[in-house]
Amino acid sequence: MKKIWLGVLLLCFEALVAQSLIRKAALGAQIEPTANGLQIAKVIEGTAVQLHLKEGDILQSLNGEPLPDYPALVNLMSTKRAGDKVVLSVLRNGKTLQLKGKFSGKPLETSAVSEVIYDQAAYKQGQLRVIINRPKKEGKLPAMLFIPGYTCSSIDNLPDYHPYKRIIDAYVAGGYVTLRIEKSGLGDSQNTPPCESCDLKDEIENFEVGLQKLRSLPYVDTTKIIIVGHSMGGIVAPALSANHPVAGVIVYGTTAKSWFEYQLEMYRVQNELAGMEPLEYEQSIRDQYELNYRFFVEKESLAELAKDPKKEAVLTSQWMYNGVDKIYGRNMEYWRQIQDMPHLEHWKKTTANVLVQFGESDFQAFSKADHEQIVRTVNYYRPGTATLAVFPQTDHYYAKSGTMKEAYDKFNQQRYGELFEAFNTEVTRNALEWGNQVIAGQPVAAPSPKKWTKLTTEPYPGKQDDIYFIDEKTGWYINGSGALYHTTDSGATWEKRYEKKGSFFRTLAFLDEQNGFIGTVGTDYFPKVTDTIPLYRTKDGGKTWTAVDYKGPYVKGLCAIDVVKEPFINHGKTDYKYHIFAVGRVGSPANLMVSHDGGDTWVSQSMNDNCKMLFDIKMFDKNNGIVCAATSADIAQSNALLLKTSDGGKTWRKVYQSNRPYETTWKVSFPTEKVGYATLQSYHLDPTVKQQRVLKTTDGGESWVELDLVEDAGARQFGIGFLTENHGFVGTMNSGYETLDGGKTWQKTDLGRACNKIRIYHDANKQPYGYAIGVEVFKLK
């Protein structure tokens, strides 16, 4: 039998009592309709506890008003506020009891990561409830105004599983102030018109009040406000942004066409999903056509249309007509104003960056073409400012619910719990990544939902060290058994192209499909390694390899190779010079190898005066670069170290050194010229030393700060790769981690174990993709 949580579902209207809004009353009990009446299924809190209600009590009357069914209870409770007197008549064990007291208010929201502020804002002749989540951070913060769908439902105290609550929580975790404002007449709002009687213009005004309130908060950076609109909120959002400039607008599951067109198409889609025969559902659309046209286009009244019994039957059964002036639970003018609203004109006038999100299994906002039309319109008038993100198997309520047919069936079978559990976090991840780019003032590339997918490769018992691609299809990876693998189909399949027993292949790089280099770690570090050659070259795509000759001191082994591609004019055409830099090694000694002619000639130099171990190198051009290093070959004495050069590696200077033993830096990633990150490894033997850290620079590597990654002694960091200044990944011994806010916060993501190298690339459309290698190989797509 269906159970109802009273106090969560109540929607209320009330007169303004004082300047501070008084909480709506809540019974604080779970109610179960039975043949005997409304029965207390569970006593939870507040009023129910105070009145000493017991499970099994049958509710008879409230303040003398009978309670024949649940709607009667809801209607009575809608007039009650905290502190009002209550007399509840209940039947208990065959006896009627009169329970007296005062109503408790609905519980207030709480949060472990933010301050929850209950505020209010003036609207028409009354006050609307405003709920603000303020992250526990200092200074002015970016902010998000959330606009929900069309229903008259309160947004106060949403359960954790509710998709709107998940969206709010994601933005708060990302460092955003979030603001929700009740629609007129809902929640604690007082002296405002009932939501059901308001039209679309009233609703736009409602959320304008919310936007003004958000702008007035002293801790909000008003240049970094993003509006997020879901469903019908995707119509309200551009209506706001067309007249009130903001940094960004995100809409999910909306429309761009007239409501007359949309509604006919919606019925056609949903009738087919319901399993109606083609001719049957087509006839039903024809029956609807005249009704839709007369109501939306010719503006005939519902009462006039209902005079026709056939049309009245359609209005009642499909339009939820109340017999007076409402359909689908809203004032009929609300829907007519949607019909007449110049949606694309609003998008034209919007000066913000725009992200349009579309779920491919959305059977309510089903038209991908509409979402594409919004993007085309915005980009026509402001090129490059609108982006479309498409989410496979995702429905109108952000759930990963399968095909559109499966989503439709689950919804109509009321399998809501299953849908709530299937919330697609890619939607919020995508929105936050995009939003962080917008508020950082970066060009907004089109971020599509991306995730790491494990590729099928030959099993390997330990950490594999490097992977390299020259384009989206062609790549290679290596491991410590001296094996090289090759793919020509983006990693879908791999072939073993070469193997050299006794070698420990540590790093590789390719200039093109034929020319490449492999660095080995050398002897006296890992067991069963006999190969003393530090660097090999291929000219046939990896089928055969020869040792590289070099001038300078002996190089024991290498851990990283970086290639700088320098353009120059060659007989009137653009050509390239390849500058190649290689460093190593773990366990000492520290050496650098350099070639300025594409690998034909090499020179080595010792770096033991600067450091004792070298792990990675990133060259910005042929002169300027960074290396990851350690101060000592004895890990117990070692500090993590970063060195920088401005003369092509001839000289180096320290730009970072940790003050703790057992530490090294390992890998480095620079998504932009100025912003970079490096992994900071700890090999401390004390298991209570748990804090793992990442380094960050915002000035091109001149200075670095330490960021906390995770408190876990087993999560020693290895690879690192960033798509943007804010969005990146770190591989550790036992897991992967992802950040969307420049390293302020991190969440676990699956990169397998011991992910040593993460390489990020960009396709012809400048969209990022990547590969990661550790015990297993992963692809980001």
**Per-residue pLDDT tens over the stretch 544-567:** 999 999 999 999 999 999 999 998
Q: Which long-range contacts (CB under 8 A, 24 or more apart) does 597-600 make?
A: 598/511, 598/515, 599/511, 599/515, 599/517, 599/537, 599/548
Which pair of tokens denotes residue 253?
A: 């599951």
Domains of the chain: 4-105 (2.30.42.10), 114-255+342-439 (3.40.50.1820), 259-340 (no CATH)
pLDDT of residue 690: 94
**Considering the entire predicted model, what is its pTM?**
0.59
**Helix residue ranges per DSSP H, 217-308:** 233-241, 259-273, 278-292, 302-305
pLDDT of residue 444: 64
- Opening angle at CA 148, ends 317 and 393, nearest 5: 75
Q: What is the tens place of the pLDDT at every residue in 338-356?
A: 999 999 999 999 999 999 9
Q: What is the DSSP string of 536-563?
A: EEESSTTSS-EEPP-BSS------EEEE
Helix (H, G, I), strand (E, B) or coil at 568: strand
- Tracing tokens 């849908």 back to the chain, one arrives at 419
pLDDT of residue 449: 52
Q: What is the tens place of the pLDDT at every residue in 633-659?
A: 999 999 999 999 999 999 999 999 999
pLDDT of residue 241: 96
Asked if 158 and 165 touch (Cβ cutoff 8 Å), the reply is yes
Asked if 554 and 607 touch (Cβ cutoff 8 Å), the reply is no
Q: From CA 198, how far away is CA 330, in angstroms rounded?
A: 7
Nearest Cα residue to 59 out of 84, 26, 87, 24: 87
Low pLDDT (below 50) residues in the chain:
1-19, 446-448
Which pair of tokens denotes residue 406?
A: 């499966």
Asked if 157 and 109 touch (Cβ cutoff 8 Å), the reply is yes
Q: What HEC string does 668-732 produce? A: EECCCCCCEEEEEEECCCCCCCCEEEEEEECCCCCCCEEEEEEECCCCCEEEEEECCCCCEEEEE
Q: Give the residues across from 141 on adjacent strands.
A: 220
Q: Give the residues across from 294 on adjacent strands.
A: none
Strand order across the beta sheet in which 546-547 lies: 505-510, 516-520, 535-538, 546-547
Q: What is the tens place of the pLDDT at every residue in 137-176?
A: 999 999 999 999 999 999 999 999 999 999 999 999 999 9
Q: What is the tens place of the pLDDT at every residue in 683-720?
A: 999 999 999 999 999 999 999 999 999 999 999 999 99
pLDDT of residue 461: 93
The H-or-E segment that residue 755 falls in is none
Helix (H, G, I), strand (E, B) or coil at 415: coil
pLDDT of residue 2: 31
Q: From CA 374, how far away is CA 386, in angstroms rounded?
A: 8
The H-or-E segment that residue 488 falls in is none
